[in-house]
Structure 1
Amino acid sequence: MTDAPRRMPAARAGATPAGRRRLRRALASAAVDLFAANGYEATTVDEIAAAAGVGRRTFFRYFETKDDVLFANHDEIVAEMEAVFAAADPGRDPVEVACAAVGLVLDSYAADLDVSLKRFALTRAVPALRDKEVATVDRYQRVLARYLQARFEDRGDEAASLRAAVIAAAIAAANNHVLRRWLRSGGKGDIKTGAAEAFALVGDAFRPAGEDLATVVAVMTTATPLQQVVAEVRAALGADGDRPAS
């Protein structure tokens, strides 16, 4: 079994909010390295804690199980999304706001590519981690739906709950498509450009009432490049090809 380098502990690392964030991330980094080197099943909580320079009790103050440690920044991202919603201009299209908020998920993956790629490989190979990832995505989607429902209700939309659930699912699907394609490529390419195209497609599909609407049924394989999907849907909608994606 390969030994991971032991990280030096910081004095009272968890004494402040910033220190607690750093410690969560140190534990996540230690865990992903050990899982990748030694295997998920063979790695123990004690080994993860030791590699991060803390004790077992400290680990369990932050995470209930070793399944949780790979998604250490999940609560932070949810809090940041909710802050985006709270600060948003009420006159702004809520779908646009929701797309901007979920972009924080992509930012978090891009900020630590090495950990993101290792985590992606692990979630593909370990069912317990894949299930945890699905639960994480579901929570993001529910946060989006709550915001959208509140905005639609403010507008007197009688179908606010259903509309919010459908649009939140579409935003989550667009985000996941872009993220997984980017991770499969090894983090190559501009993830922000891919996200802008995907979210523009969602925006076109759910533009506010009063604008020109159309229904398009497109039959494509899952391997169809996103740029081609966007181009063909826009062409079917009669959208101006020179209009920039928003």
Structure 2
Amino acid sequence: MSDTASAPAARHAVVAAALDLFAAQGFEATSVEQIAQAAGISRSTFFRQFGGKDDVVFADHELLLDELRSYLSQPHDNPWAAVCEASMWVFKQFTADPELARRRYSVVRGVPALREREIVTVFRYERLFDEYLRESLPGLDPIDAVGFAALVTAVHNHVLRQLLRGTKRVPASVLRRALDDVMRRYGVHPHGTDAAPDDVVVAVFPRRMPSAEVARRLSEHLG
């Protein structure tokens, strides 16, 4: 048996082998020894690289989260767009191997403990985006930061589920259009485009009026 599973291709092979076994004989009935044997690595290498059976299911997410932290730590002219680009990048990683993504989805749906961990994992993406926006835009209302992060994450997951629950390809352009709409909802124009003349609204409100009431009235009048 090989004692290396650190390279991306090798890690991907171990994840694929594990998911194949989980799908064929069930998560609980599959042992670490069986996964290691199917992947061609030692049991000790599996534990060193992944930790446990549930960890191997979410191994891709751990790598993605680390890579997103690195991406968001770089300078970006438009933090809102940077969050959307991060979401796009994650989507493209999963659509690169849709069959593997579908097998993972099927396994997770059938194991309550994995579903709970999936919820926590989704929240980690949302929290990463939220914290990045607050750091990048000093003075930003925390509600706007968490709201944008939550909406981007929810839209991403909605489009991704279209891929996971079906058999057809879902192009990245579907998510791109949805995320562009998210930015417009927050008054941010995607791709650095300027607002059209009829896209600007000037309104006057009493200084003491709560911002939430201002937003409510604007929403009411703008439909």
**TM-score, structure 1 length as denominator?**
0.73
Deviation at 1:150, TM superposition (A): 0.7
Question: Mind listing any 5+ residue stretches in structure 2 that lack a counterpart?
Answer: 190-194, 202-214
Matched, 1:138 2:123: yes
Q: Tell whether the 8 Å contact from 2:162 to 2:170 is kept in structure 1 after alignment.
A: no
Kindly report which structure 2 residues correspond to 1:1-246, keeping only aligned pairs within 5 A, or say none: 9-10=1-2, 13-14=4-5, 19-89=6-76, 91-92=77-78, 94-153=79-138, 156-157=139-140, 159=141, 161-186=142-167, 188-208=168-188, 212=201, 214-215=218-219
In the alignment, residue 114 of structure 2 is paired with which amino acid?
L
Deviation digits for residues 189-237 of structure 1 (CA, Å, limit 9, x no counterpart): 4331210121022112112499648527xxxxxxxxxxxxxxxxxxx76
Between the aligned partners of 1:119 and 1:30, the Cα distance in structure 2 is 11
Q: Output one character per residue of 1:47-75: Cα deviation in whole Å (capped at 9) or x when no partner.
A: 01111111211111122220111121222
- The structure where helix makes up a greater share of residues is 2
2:72–2:132 Cα contact (<8 Å) kept: yes
Q: Which residue of 2 aligns with 1:243?
A: none
Match of 1:215, SS state, is helix
Deviation at 1:116, TM superposition (A): 0.6
Aligned residue type for 2:149: A
Structure 1 residue matching 2:80: 3-state secondary structure: helix
CA root-mean-square deviation: 2.4
Counting matched residue pairs gives 199
Moved >6 Å (runs of 4+): none
